[in-house]
Amino acid sequence: MTKLRLAIVGAGPAGIYAADILLKAERKFEVSIDLFEQLPAPYGLVRYGVAPDHPRIKGIINALREVLDTGRIRLFGNVLYGRDITLADLKKHYNAVIFATGAVRDAALPIPGTELDGSYGAAEFVSWYDGHPDFPREWPLEHREVAVIGNGNVALDVARTLAKPADDLLSTEIPANVYEGLKRSKVTDVHVFGRRGPAQVKFTPLELRELGEMRDVDVIVHDEDFELDAASIAAIETNKQIFVLNKVLNSWRTRESTGASRRLHLHFWAKPLEILGTDAVEAFRYERTRPDGEGGVVGTGEIREIPVQAVYRAVGYFGSPLPEIPFDSRHGVVPNREGQVIDDNDEQVHGVYATGWIKRGPVGLIGHTKSDAMETIRNVINDQANWWSPALPDEAAVTELLRSRGVEYTDLNGWRHLDEHELALGEAEGRLRVKVVPREEMVRVSNAPLATAAGPRADG
């Protein structure tokens, strides 16, 4: 019977769901799957993006872990595609590769002043509070007034984390340095800006409602933002989600101030124009907008400024190019037709597939990566005639290759050790988990039990 030796690059939800779907799919061949991940731990943005105070969503890790625990997938963590393993290597050892490398960077906000001190991308801040090993351990939180630009759930995560009392995050898995940083934060006012109106926000109701439930935080909305046009009224009447969002927002219009020590202001109809300051951020300038009657907005010419000392740009994520793989730099994705990667001439690149955020762009929830993976896997299966013919398909050849290059990879047993270690650190402090942050420490804990002077663990 033929065997499909498949490499998947990226152990976020998209990569893991793809492996799971392939293993369960009806097919006429055997499969052997190796999952390569540049971080020492799996789960992508579920571990390093989803907010720590969302334990229910973080719990999706348990379902992903069950897939890995079937023992039918080998995990190679701490292995960067493009440096530790190349396309030529993959062609030598596998029949095909699926790229599931997601998106980690901030999309650009094309206004002046984004280079000033105190102007941050949301992705950097998220990576800090979620303990990503490749980001600085310290975060400057000495500013009193801050702006968050964006009207999606990431903007809400950022605003909530900035406004929430640090002690209310202590039961979560935030690393110790993050708790201490947030505890020292001087923030008093968080201003969230959206270009459009309350009926066009991209929040989800649960996340919006949470803002109003924070201890010692007053949520402030402005009556002038609620003069709705016919298109907004129609959206509220016909779309249940918008109806609920609107109800939540309206309930805050009549709320009395409690004199809380922090305030979270929501501003709508505000188009970003410029971040002002000499060296560091001093203010945010925006133009009031109004509905254009077709679901969009136009500027009114009314310019406003608000004093802030920091600006967080939460206007979306963006994918990164992968060495030797076609890239659409306009949309930040690997160009593809239903997961089959295509080149500049629209021709299929044989043996190369994509799934998840790098396939369709950084929008959508974790669950969406499952339907993505179904489509990609269907094409991998149907494409058998176009698979590569590897010279060295033997499973042991890959571990030998990585060892010969001195790559200190982690594996599934290693992840189990790290997981247990983090849970034990948490238990000792009466917390869910305490994340290990430095990469070397993650690798050391993962590989410790069987580590030898010769290098990393051999089992997997």
Ligand X SMILES: Cc1cc2nc3c(=O)[nH]c(=O)nc-3n(C[C@H](O)[C@H](O)[C@H](O)COP(=O)(O)OP(=O)(O)OC[C@H]3O[C@@H](n4cnc5c(N)ncnc54)[C@H](O)[C@@H]3O)c2cc1C
Q: Least Å distance between CB 54 and ligand X?
A: 5
| Spatial separation of the C-alpha atoms in residues 22 and 43, rounded to whole Å | 18
**Which one of the spans 89-97, 99-107, 211-219, 237-245 is the region binding ligand X (CB under 6 A)?**
99-107
Closest distance of CB 415 from ligand X, Å: 12
String of contacts with ligand X for each residue 275-314, x by CB under 6 A: ----------------------------------------
101 binds ligand X (CB under 6 A): yes
Give least dist CB 87 to ligand X, A. Answer: 11
In 277-431, beta strands by DSSP E: 283-291, 297-307, 310-313, 317-318, 336-337, 340-342, 348-354
Instruction: Specify the residue, 27 or 368, whose C-beta has the smaller distance to ligand X.
Output: 368
Q: Which of 200, 369, 376, 399 binds ligand X (CB under 6 A)?
A: 369
With CB under 6 A as the contact rule, the residue among 4, 11, 96, 377 that binds ligand X is 11
Tokens of 225: 């933002």
Shorter beta-carbon distance to ligand X: residue 123 or 297: 123
* Piece of the chain touching ligand X by CB under 6 A; list 27-35, 66-74, 109-117, 365-373: 365-373
Question: Cβ 190 to ligand X, closest distance in Å?
Answer: 16
Amino acid at 405: R
The C-alpha atoms of residue 357 and residue 100 are separated, in whole angstroms, by 7
CA distances (Å), origin 221, targets 31, 225, 253, 332, 407 = 55, 8, 6, 34, 53
Contact flag: residue 81 with ligand X (CB under 6 A): yes
Q: In the stretch 136-175, what mask flags binding to ligand X with x, by CB under 6 A?
A: ------------------x--x------------------
State the first-to-last Cα distance of the chain, in angstroms, to the nearest integer: 25
Q: Which of 193, 284, 357, 387 binds ligand X (CB under 6 A)?
A: 357
Binding of residue 57 to ligand X (CB under 6 A)? yes
Residue 366 · residue 13 · CB < 8 Å: yes
Decide whether 297 or 380 has the Cβ nearer to ligand X: 380
Cβ neighbours of residue 139 closer than 8 Å, sequence gap 6 or more: 125, 128, 129, 178, 181
In angstroms, the CA 87 to CA 79 distance is 13
Q: Does 100 bind ligand X (CB under 6 A)?
A: yes
Indicate the residue among 303 and 365 with the shorter CB distance to ligand X.
Answer: 365
Least Å distance between CB 355 and ligand X?
7
Closer CB to ligand X, residue 17 or residue 286?
Answer: 17
113 belongs to the binding site for ligand X (CB under 6 A):
no
Closest to ligand X by CB, 19 vs 235, is 19
Q: Two tokens at 185?
A: 């934060």
- Could you tell me the CA-to-CA distances from 78 to 39, 392, 443, 460 in Å, in that order? 5, 22, 8, 14
Task: Note whether 339 binds ligand X by CB under 6 A.
Answer: no
Q: What is the DSSP string of 397-409?
A: HHHHHHHHTT---
The answer to the question of residue 9 lying near ligand X (CB under 6 A) is yes
Q: Which is nearer to ligand X, 121 or 181 (CB)?
A: 121
Question: Pairing state of beta strands 73-76 and 217-220?
Answer: unpaired
Q: Which of 13, 121, 152, 181 binds ligand X (CB under 6 A)?
A: 13
Other beta carbons within 10 Å of 298: 13
Cα 255 from chain centroid (whole Å): 33
Q: Which helix (H) or strand (E) is 215 found in, with range?
A: none
In whole angstroms, give the CA distance from residue 184 to residue 176. Answer: 13
Interaction between residue 68 and ligand X (CB under 6 A): no
Binding site for ligand X (CB under 6 A): 9-15, 36-39, 44-46, 49-50, 54, 57, 80-82, 100-102, 126, 154, 157, 317, 322, 356-357, 364-366, 369
